[in-house]
């Protein structure tokens, strides 16, 4: 019988063998950034490399042309490895999703190499539109994660931990409508939509100091008129709302909607507010699974921060939280840059193709593949994951029931 240590050595060697191709893949995706649901080149590159190594991936998963899924293994617990590959508008891969794609594929191919011996199955899932479209939510609704025992992925960052703070979020698109007029000749006939939007933006800013701890609102004005001598009849903006849990996101959204609506009404303008992305749930990291990952990534010489050492202000949001509510999941962060080079910047995009970032990607692939081996070969780990996840699901159910009750009362 092959030992667990030997299986882990084998997957690490497999990632080393694949390293030139994985690095080339990540560079190709980085050099060709594509926005949400348009990631055709990235998907072609990933599926092409997977096919060359015997992993056939079906595109169009859950009805999305740039989603994919494929599986190797006949029996045993399923472990899902996730790829992300969408970019940011104007910045490109300032979130490092090209590294996530390469790490996910590398981990899946390495784990597949020992799946038969270890008694497990590996499923590779391509997840489009993480930045705004909630691709994982649609994959979840489409049954892609059905029958999966664990969901694994890694993410580059400027700090390293297996316990990132991933909070609930949603986005609001705001359209304020007024009435156009000549700004000098007949200004009294106009209703200035931009004034209504600017007042709303300021109202949201005035709310910020009085929001509960952990609530955050950021926004941009997208459109404010066409010429200075025309009273704007249309102005648009987008606001991103975050709160520690989905349970607390709803009252935050209600306050922001009220502020924007009142501001538009104060100048006689109309307003339409709609969610432009689904609600991203907070991630309850699977602690047993994270513990296994930490043991494996530490073996590679990396030193992830404990949850208590992650600064309280370092938070993010991702649709991985929705998946983690249904299946035990981890979303570790891999440090690829100094603390002053943060994600969603051009500087981070540049750092994400340097040798230190590519080394982190390969380490991430190895750590994920080794963690899959743990899931397959350690029934006590699977039991601990199941028990903890059951507790989390019962808590979420209680919170959902309370939230539904409050919505009914408001309505």
> How many CA atoms does the CB half-sphere of 108 hold within 13 Å?
36
Q: Which of 238-252, 375-389, 390-404 has the lowest mean pLDDT?
A: 390-404
Residue 244 near residue 127 (C-beta atoms within 8 A):
no
pLDDT of residue 394: 84
Rg of the chain's alpha carbons, rounded to an integer? 23
pLDDT of residue 296: 98
Name the pairing type of β-strands 234-243 and 216-223.
antiparallel
- What are the backbone dihedrals phi and psi of residue 43, each rounded to the nearest 5 degrees, phi first? -65, -40
Closest CA to 4 of 383, 371, 380: 371
pLDDT of residue 157: 96
Q: How confident is the model at residue 411 (pLDDT cuts 50, 70, 90)?
A: very low
Measured between alpha carbons, how far is 124 from 265 in angstroms, rounded to an integer?
50
Does position 410 have pLDDT exceeding 60, yes or no? no
Mean pLDDT, residues 295-316 taken together: 93
> Which CA distances in Å does 194 have to 188, 208, 237?
15, 21, 10
Mean pLDDT, residues 140-149 taken together: 98
Does position 229 have pLDDT exceeding 80, yes or no? yes
pLDDT of residue 407: 47
Question: What domains can you pick out in the chain, each with its CATH number?
Answer: 4-166+283-396 (3.40.630.10), 168-278 (3.30.70.360)
- What are the backbone dihedrals phi and psi of residue 230, each rounded to the nearest 5 degrees, phi first? -125, 125
Closest CA to 152 of 370, 405, 301: 370
Closest CA to 77 of 393, 286, 374: 374
Mean pLDDT, residues 102-122 taken together: 97
Torsion of CA 390, 391, 393, 398, to 10 degrees: 140
SS3 388: helix
Does position 319 have pLDDT exceeding 70, yes or no? yes
Residue 366 near residue 11 (C-beta atoms within 8 A):
yes
pLDDT in tens, 41-69: 999 999 999 999 999 999 999 999 999 99
Residue 284 near residue 246 (C-beta atoms within 8 A):
no
> How many CA atoms does the CB half-sphere of 64 hold within 13 Å?
29
Q: Where are the beta strands (DSSP E) in 103-256?
A: 121-127, 148-152, 155-157, 168-177, 216-223, 234-243
Mean pLDDT, residues 390-396 taken together: 85
Measured between alpha carbons, how far is 194 from 129 in angstroms, rounded to an integer?
30
pLDDT of residue 304: 97
Q: How confident is the model at residue 409 (pLDDT cuts 50, 70, 90)?
A: very low
Does position 256 have pLDDT exceeding 90, yes or no? yes
Measured between alpha carbons, how far is 310 from 315 in angstroms, rounded to an integer?
9
Number of C-beta neighbours around residue 195 at 10 A: 22
* Mean of the per-residue pLDDT values of the chain: 95
Closest CA to 207 of 160, 155, 254, 159: 254
pLDDT of residue 392: 86
In the chain, the N- to C-terminal Cα span, in Å, equals 62
Please provide the DSSP assignment of 142-169 as one string: TTTTTTEEEEE--EEESS-BSS--B-EE
Secondary element (H or E) of residue 258: helix 246-266
Does position 83 have pLDDT exceeding 70, yes or no? yes
Closest CA to 127 of 83, 170, 87: 83
Number of C-beta neighbours around residue 341 at 10 A: 15
Measured between alpha carbons, how far is 109 from 18 in angstroms, rounded to an integer?
9
Number of C-beta neighbours around residue 21 at 10 A: 16
Q: Hunting for tokens 């994919």 — which residue is that?
A: 68
Measured between alpha carbons, how far is 119 from 398 in angstroms, rounded to an integer?
36
Mean pLDDT, residues 206-234 taken together: 96
Angle, in degrees to the nearest 10, between helices 287-299 and 355-377: 130
pLDDT of residue 396: 78
DSSP β-bridge partners for residue 6:
none
Please provide the DSSP assignment of 321-371 as one string: HHHHTTS-EE--EEE-S-TTS-SSSHHHHHHTTSHHHHHHHHHHHHHHHHH
Residue 45 near residue 28 (C-beta atoms within 8 A):
yes
pLDDT in tens, 168-217: 999 999 999 999 999 999 999 999 999 999 999 999 999 999 999 999 99
Mean pLDDT, residues 237-255 taken together: 97
In terms of phi and psi (left: phi > 0; alpha: psi -120 to 50; beta: otherwise), the region of 223 is beta
Q: Hunting for tokens 């600017």 — which residue is that?
A: 198
Q: What percent of the chain has pLDDT over 70?
A: 97
pLDDT of residue 404: 55
Mean pLDDT, residues 146-170 taken together: 97
């Amino acid at each position: 019988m092959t030992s667990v240590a030997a299986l882990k050595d084998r997957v690490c060697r497999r990632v080393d063998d694949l390293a030139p191709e994985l690095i080339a893949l990540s560079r190709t995706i980085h050099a060709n950034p594509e926005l949400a649901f348009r990631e055709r080149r990235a998907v072609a590159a990933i599926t092409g490399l997977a096919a060359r190594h015997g992993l056939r991936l079906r595109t169009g998963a859950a009805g999305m042309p740039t989603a994919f899924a494929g599986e190797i293994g006949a029996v045993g617990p399923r472990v899902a490895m996730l790829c992300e590959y969408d970019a940011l508008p104007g910045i490109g891969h300032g979130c490092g999703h090209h590294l996530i794609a390469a790490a996910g594929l590398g981990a899946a191919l390495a784990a597949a190499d020992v799946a038969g011996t270890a008694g497990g199955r590996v499923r590779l899932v391509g997840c489009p539109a993480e930045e705004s479209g909630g691709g994982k939510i649609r994959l979840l609704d489409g049954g892609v994660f059905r029958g999966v025992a664990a969901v694994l992925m890694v993410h580059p960052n400027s700090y390293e931990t297996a316990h990132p703070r991933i909070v609930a979020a949603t986005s609001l698109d705001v359209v304020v409508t007024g009435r156009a007029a000549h700004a000098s000749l007949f200004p009294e006939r106009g209703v200035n939509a931009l004034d209504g939007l600017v007042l709303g933006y300021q109202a949201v800013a005035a709310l910020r100091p009085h929001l509960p701890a952990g609530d955050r609102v950021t926004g941009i004005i997208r459109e404010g008129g066409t010429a200075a001598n025309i009273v704007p009849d249309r102005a648009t903006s987008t606001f991103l709302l975050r709160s520690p849990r989905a349970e607390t996101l709803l009252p935050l959204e209600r306050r922001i909607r009220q502020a924007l609506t009142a501001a538009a009404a104060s100048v006689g303008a109309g307003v339409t507010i709609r969610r432009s992305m689904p609600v991203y749930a907070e991630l309850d990291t699977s602690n047993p699974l994270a513990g296994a990952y930490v043991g494996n990534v530490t073996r590679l010489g990396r030193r992830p921060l404990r949850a208590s050492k992650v600064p309280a202000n370092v938070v993010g949001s991702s649709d991985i939280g929705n998946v983690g509510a249904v299946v035990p999941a981890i979303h570790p962060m891999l440090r690829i840059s100094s603390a002053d080079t943060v994600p969603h910047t051009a500087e981070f995009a540049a750092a994400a193709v340097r040798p230190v970032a590519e080394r982190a990607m390969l380490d991430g692939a190895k750590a994920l593949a080794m963690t899959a081996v743990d899931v397959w070969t350690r029934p006590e780990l699977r039991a601990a994951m199941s028990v903890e996840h059951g507790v989390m699901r019962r808590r979420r159910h209680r919170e959902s029931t309370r939230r539904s009750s409050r919505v009914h009362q408001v309505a």
